[in-house]
A and B are shown apart, each in its own frame.
Chain A
Amino acid sequence: MTETAKAGLYIHIPFCLKKCGYCSFYSVASNQAIPEFLNAIIREMSFYRNLFYSFDTIYLGGGTPSLLTIGQINAILDAAVKAFHVEPSAEITVEANPGDLSDDYLKALKAAGVNRLNIGIQSFDDRILNFLGRRHTAREARAAFDAVRTAGFSNVGLDLIYGVSGQTVALWRRDLRLAIGLAPEHLSCYSLSLERATPLYRRYQRSGLHLPSEKQALDFFLATSRTLTDSGYLHYEVSNYARLETFRSRHNMKYWRHISYLGLGPAAHSFHLGRRWWNKADLDGYLRNLRDDQTPQEAEETLSPGQLALETLFLSLRTQEGIDLEAFRKRYGYDLLIEKKDAVNRLIASGKLKLDAGHLRPTIAGMAIADSLALI
């Protein structure tokens, strides 16, 4: 919430060996342009030297950052450290594909200063992995996790997907139990969503497959929350769980707390001082712009106080932390408990919200409808 909080740096690595059917993040299925891309990213950093001073998180997302060689990752991190002040205690995350994590690679990542890995496991069920078009197997996933531990990573997150056609809540619980058995510090559990223009979307349409009904989606959501919280995980955001508060994704929390972040690379979004801007989702265009020493920005918006307030509502109400009422009142000039008294009271009475230590927080049932809570 506070502008004085340190900013986060996101770097989008838009390369994949093969595109996954469900994924709508921008990437190209070719690694040819990686060398030029590195130059471009480094050049893009120079545009923001004066705007952003200090970062305490760096996040390499994608795409598939683990396609980069250690040398390439080092080049990016070195450039970031050179261009900006990066806190010594910064959280430095790399998203990784389980199949890419050899012992040597992991050791080198660790040496490069990466202290958090987020592994795209998605499922421990080969049929589901196959359905999603992932290039790894469950066995490889488990082996990768062991290797990560052996390499000494002590802050590891796993991504899982649920609600795939044919998957029951019981099958999903099995996935969760296998994940819990590995004791990762962090888990992101996403319900499958069909994004337009993805192969999976078209496949669902063609074959008449359906996403879970509202009732089923709620069952999955509650089963996830119950299973993981019973095992000691903190359900700190709609789709995110951490073994301890310190293992929450410091980088991702900046998105939900309206803390500044700089996004570099094609399609990356940035937010700073009430302004948001984003780059073209087009690698060639991105490279061309930077070759010409131009910004690859596609557009920007300056948020009105009303828009910022609305974002604060829907972002905060996704998180267990909720809305800091006093901070909200100071920033936007009205007290939610007074202005929205009836709605808030009704939602508290119906078990969707709770008041706790000056915060208006969603309950688990509230998180399940977080988008609508914002419209109180």
Chain B
Amino acid sequence: MENIRNFSIIAHIDHGKSTLADRLIQYTGVCNERNFQDQLLDNMDIERERGITIKSNAISLPYRAKDGKDYMLNLIDTPGHVDFSYEVSRSLASCEGVLLLIDAAQGVQAQTLANLYLAMEHNLEVIPVINKIDLPSADIDRVLEEIDSELGLDPDTHLKASAKEGIGIAEILEAIIERIPPPKGSEAYPLAALIFDAKYDAYRGTIIHCRIFEGSVKAGDIIRFMHNNAAYKVEEVGHFLLQRTKRDRLSAGEVGYIIAGVKTVSDVRTGDTITHQDKPCAHPLPGFKEVKPVVFASIYPIASDDYQDLADSLEKYKLNDASFIYEKDSSAALGQGFRCGFLGLLHLDIVQERLEREYDLSIILSVPSVRYRFTLKDGTIIYVDNPAHYPDPISIAKGEEPFIRASMMLPERYLGAVMKLCMDKRGLNSNMNYTGPGRVELSYEMPLAEVIFDFYDRFKSVTQGYGSFDYDMIDYRESNLVLMDILVNSEKVDALSQIVHRDRARARALIACDRLKDEIPRQMYKIAIQGAIGSEIIARSTISAFRKDVTAKCYGGDITRKRKLLEKQKEGKKRMKMIGSVSIPQSAFLAVLKSDND
């Protein structure tokens, strides 16, 4: 155990996390140049494009240190978005230390600080690494000053590196050995292993990623998931080298995988504790949380023929994403589809993008909703996350919506803009602390519905990326809720209905009407778009008809050309959704659910 180090790299976005991970992998020689693919850990296209990791990942790096001893360095990568903050906390809980990466030109940034706090919460050893020192704009003295004043860390503990140029990598590896403590724990105790991720493998079922805190586990053992209370027989255990590498056992302190005939990742919960069936540990490891979806939306295929394809794709997607849930749903306007639950809007984006990209589906999403609580006059309490199930307004005694506590860290100069934003979002009970010179910690209680509706994008924009944001659910609070419908040429488009606070209804309806006006192409007749609460019209916009659209000449050669053009248009129309008489493109549905950040 003395020879194991478990660590993570944390950084503000674009400070070089993935590049450093790649260099460490290369340097330790776990893979050779030939099969090295840049940024190995971010192995999905979407992750690469967005520059963020959405699933945790781990790799074990065998390393012979200057002291001549062989070590096993386990690098656990973490997701980088608030939707996945629970996953981050479980990954960090599996480590003893972190490399805190700071860009030499940009210095300490919002996520640097937020990540440092997370690491400190888990009592991790923090090694500050100033990266990109080769940049002409690097200002190391200033960064050292910030490490001292803003992070409150001893600047003498820092390392300098350029991951891109391979500078400082050896020193980093040595510091990991010297400064990050080896894991504690004993093989003699009953097994206690923390699940920090799970992936689906078509041949082996679920691959459980875990950190062993106490005891050991080997093939043939009967293990139990303490929170799920399910038992499995272990088929294989091993380490993550470049590929999964089978081992006889995994012991206290180690990071590795367990294969145990678990059919889907949904049978495994991140943060759960694995123990032995016959000799269980006394308590599960701390920090387990039931991850529940907080954002709900329906997905429909654009062409109703694609329904079965969509069903198959969701089933496949679900294999690898336990936090995603779905069930059948149908819409009067959009036909058969699925109601889905997500951890947040980024999660929703990712699911949507993967369905379109990997499964080649054209889909329409309804406007995302949170889960509301209604007390009816007869005393029944119902939860509604789908505007289609909004109760008859006459029967409602009380409506409630989920509230969160938003915690934000930001430079003082953005305070005014952020407070205004929070108040626009119906924020209450603010609280403010100075965490250092010019740095503020701000908290607000806010309706979750306001947060999922573009709060994060606007927060990042008003703080120019220097703010960090996190939230926790607090409770349900009474709220004056109404059902706002969108009508296109007097036909209700149920997928665009939203449950909203009455005070926000008009503004939301106007946004929706304007967005639809911009996105729906002009057609042969005037299109009226209206926002309504019941029969009361609260917003409207009009798309004028086009009135001149005909080719002047149409003789011999023009006919084939014209027909081909019309065939193309007809094909395009098929990819739109007909609502009554109006063809609505997919982009119009997307536009309505996008933020109002202009």
Contact = CB atoms under 8 A, between A and B. Distances in A.
Interface of A: 10, 190-193, 214-215, 217-218, 221, 238-239, 252, 255-256, 261, 263, 267-271, 276, 278, 301, 307, 310-311, 314-315, 318, 342-343, 346-347, 350, 352, 365, 367-375
30 contacts: A193-B552, A217-B548, A218-B547, A221-B548, A256-B554, A261-B556, A269-B557, A269-B560, A270-B556, A271-B559, A276-B560, A278-B557, A278-B560, A301-B560, A310-B567, A310-B570, A314-B562, A314-B566, A315-B554, A315-B559, A343-B581, A347-B525, A350-B525, A365-B547, A367-B550, A368-B549, A369-B549, A371-B550, A375-B566, A375-B573
B570 A375 contact: yes
B575 to A, nearest CB: 14
B248 to A, nearest CB: 67
A214 B556 contact: no
Contacts of B525: 346-347, 350, 352
Given A307-B563, A314-B562, A352-B525, 8 more contacts: A268-B556, A268-B557, A271-B556, A301-B560, A315-B554, A347-B525, A371-B550, A374-B566
B548 A368 contact: yes
Given A369-B547, A369-B550, A370-B550, A375 B559 contact: no
A158 to B, nearest CB: 15
Contacts of B546: 214, 369, 372
Interface string B517-536: 00000011110000000000
A3 B3 CA distance: 91
Contacts of A347: 524-525
Contacts of A263: 556
A372 B545 CA distance: 11
Nearest to A352: B524
A375 B557 contact: no
Contacts of B569: 375
A239 B553 CA distance: 7
A296 B524 CA distance: 41
Q: Kindly list the 3 A-B residue pairs having the minimum CB-CB distance in the complex, ordered from nearest.
A: A269-B556, A218-B548, A190-B552
A190 B555 CA distance: 13
Interface string B15-59: 000000000000000000000000000000000000000000000
A310 B553 contact: no
A140 B411 CA distance: 80
A291 B161 CA distance: 77
A271 B557 CA distance: 10
Interface of B: 523-526, 545-557, 559-560, 562-563, 566-567, 569-570, 573, 581
B304 to A, nearest CB: 18
B554 A310 contact: no
Contacts of B559: 255, 269, 271, 276, 311, 315
Interface of B is mostly: loop
B550 A255 contact: no
A371 B562 contact: yes
Contacts of B555: 252, 255
Contact of A372 (B524, B554, B567, B581): B524
A261 B555 CA distance: 11
A372 B563 contact: no
B557 to A, nearest CB: 5
A275 to B, nearest CB: 12
A217 B547 CA distance: 9
Contact of B552 (A239, A343, A352): A239
Contacts of A368: 547-550
Contacts of A352: 524-525
Nearest to B549: A369
A251 to B, nearest CB: 9
B551 to A, nearest CB: 6
Contacts of A318: 550, 554
Nearest to A276: B560
Contacts of B552: 190-193, 238-239
A193 B566 CA distance: 18
A19 B380 CA distance: 82
A269 to B, nearest CB: 3
A310 B563 contact: yes
A271 B558 CA distance: 12
B524 to A, nearest CB: 5
B560 to A, nearest CB: 6
Nearest to A217: B548
A314 B569 CA distance: 13
Contacts of A314: 562-563, 566
Nearest to B551: A371
Contacts of A278: 556-557, 560
Contact of B524 (A214, A238, A350): A350
Given A10-B556, A346-B525, A350-B525, A371 B573 contact: no
Contacts of A214: 546-549
Contacts of A374: 566
Interface centre among B524, B546, B550, B552 (most CB of A within 10 A): B550
A176 to B, nearest CB: 16
A370 B552 CA distance: 10
A365 B525 CA distance: 12
Contacts of A310: 563, 566-567, 570
B549 A372 contact: yes
B183 to A, nearest CB: 68
Contact of A342 (B556, B562, B563, B581): B581
A177 B468 CA distance: 72
A373 B524 CA distance: 8
A254 to B, nearest CB: 10
B29 to A, nearest CB: 59
Contacts of A371: 549-551, 562, 566
Nearest to A270: B556
Given A218-B548, A368-B550, A374-B566, A346 B556 contact: no
Contacts of A215: 547-548
Contacts of A373: 524
Given A193-B551, A255-B554, A314-B566, A369 B524 contact: yes
Nearest to B526: A350
Nearest to A252: B555
Nearest to A220: B548
Contacts of A375: 566, 569-570, 573
A225 B552 CA distance: 14
Nearest to A261: B556
A213 B570 CA distance: 25
B464 to A, nearest CB: 38
Contacts of A276: 559-560
A112 to B, nearest CB: 24
A261 B557 CA distance: 12
Contacts of B548: 214-215, 217-218, 221, 368-369
A190 B553 contact: yes
A51 to B, nearest CB: 16
A263 B559 CA distance: 14
A133 B550 CA distance: 25
B566 A238 contact: no
A259 B182 CA distance: 89
A204 to B, nearest CB: 16
Contacts of A269: 556-557, 559-560
Contacts of B557: 267-269, 278
B556 to A, nearest CB: 3
Nearest to B550: A370
Contacts of A365: 547
A255 B567 CA distance: 19
B568 to A, nearest CB: 11
